[in-house]
Amino acid sequence: MQTNLSATNSEETREIAVRQGHRDILGLFIYMIVIACLLVSKPVSAKAHDTIANSAASQTADPNKSASEFNHHIAGWALIGIGLLALAALLSPAFNFQKYLWPVLFILAGFFLAVWSDAEIWPRGNLSWAWLFQHDAEARQHKIYSLLLIAIGIVEYIRIRGLLPRFWKIWAFPVIAILGAGMLLIHDHGVGSGADSPEAQAYLVNPKLDVDGNPRDLIASNMPENSGSRQNDAMSTADVSGMPMNHSQMNMDMSSAPHHHHMTASMVRVERQHLWFVLIGLAIAVFKFISDSELFRHRLIPWMWPSCTMLLGLMLVFYRE
């Protein structure tokens, strides 16, 4: 009898310690959200305003603007669908079968982002993935986001099937979500892909096409005689392959050149929207953690993370650059 009582007390003590640890982690999450709020509410400095004003006149339209906004909108509709399906599964047992569908939406959104996120990268463009791994940081981050979406979908499907250990059931989704939200803080739309550089010609999937997948012959026939091409797109593949590829010299030249990072109005708008995405993404991670760990037992807790997912989806649908 005393042994059973001692075992029960030990189990209760361990459960209390686990819950206390979860509360400490929750406090860390809330602290991260507060930091994100401060970043979001940070006013644009007078210097940034001056830079925006000075560069507004010379600002040209980004040819990738519509495609980038389209990618964000598709991701937004996918998140809205995920939130609706998750809420429907909570609303009634009749919709319980739909809980298997929203992880699939995560996976499909990830594959879409992997294939369609960057105009110059194959299969949408003509540059191989070796180019983004070595030179294009923005495209590389897009592919990492796609892997995170696919990972969340797989993890959640396994969790719904009841095959995920308790530790991963509680931690997998929040950790992946926080990683994705944190990467948005260093995601820079203002950095060029470098696809216009002569070095990119060595990474073409089809040498007969330019980096965007357009036929070279057609571009040459439509080009005015005295106008410049897209950074030597008309250059033959043989000439490019014969060029010495001195990466170290290129890096030295780039590092020695002065960098003037001008914040245009579009870049400030994108940065502000990304900070809001970080905030909502952290909220999704926190509420999913609370729901799966049963840290706080309240009937509204399971509804919070799907609602925040739908909110993030709406923000992506209305995303503008």
Q: State the pLDDT confidence band at 259, using cuts at 50, 70 and 90.
A: very low
Separation between Cα atoms, residue 145 and residue 137, nearest integer Å: 12
Report pLDDT digits (tens) over 65-122. Answer: 888 899 999 999 999 999 999 998 888 777 777 788 989 999 999 999 998 888 888 7
Longest dimension (CA), the chain: 97
End-to-end alpha-carbon separation of the chain, Å? 69
Separation between Cα atoms, residue 142 and residue 111, nearest integer Å: 11
Quick one: CA torsion of 16, 21, 24, 26, rounded to 10 degrees?
A: -100
Separation between Cα atoms, residue 37 and residue 311, nearest integer Å: 16
pLDDT score, position 224: 53
Mean pLDDT of the chain: 74
Report helix angle 265-293 to 166-184, nearest 10: 170
Name the residue ranges covered by the structural domains of the chain. 22-53+64-257+265-321
Judged against a pLDDT cut of 60, whether residue 196 lies above it is answered with: yes
Nearest one of 154, 160, 173 to 98, comparing CA atoms: 160
Most confident of 157-161, 182-186, 213-217, 262-266: 157-161
pTM over 0.75: no
The least confident of 133-142, 233-242, 310-319 is 233-242
pLDDT score, position 76: 96
Residue 67 or residue 309, greater confidence: 309
pLDDT score, position 62: 65
State percent of the chain over pLDDT 70: 60
Residue 297 or residue 160, greater confidence: 160
Identify whether the C-beta of residue 223 lies closer than 8 Å to the C-beta of residue 147: no
Separation between Cα atoms, residue 196 and residue 247, nearest integer Å: 16
The least confident of 99-113, 245-259, 277-291 is 245-259
Separation between Cα atoms, residue 115 and residue 189, nearest integer Å: 18
Separation between Cα atoms, residue 174 and residue 139, nearest integer Å: 24
pLDDT score, position 123: 82
Identify whether the C-beta of residue 280 lies closer than 8 Å to the C-beta of residue 315: yes
Determine the length of the chain: 321
Report pLDDT digits (tens) over 31-60. Answer: 454 454 444 444 433 344 444 444 444 445
pLDDT score, position 217: 65
Q: Which tokens sit at 45?
A: 């400095």
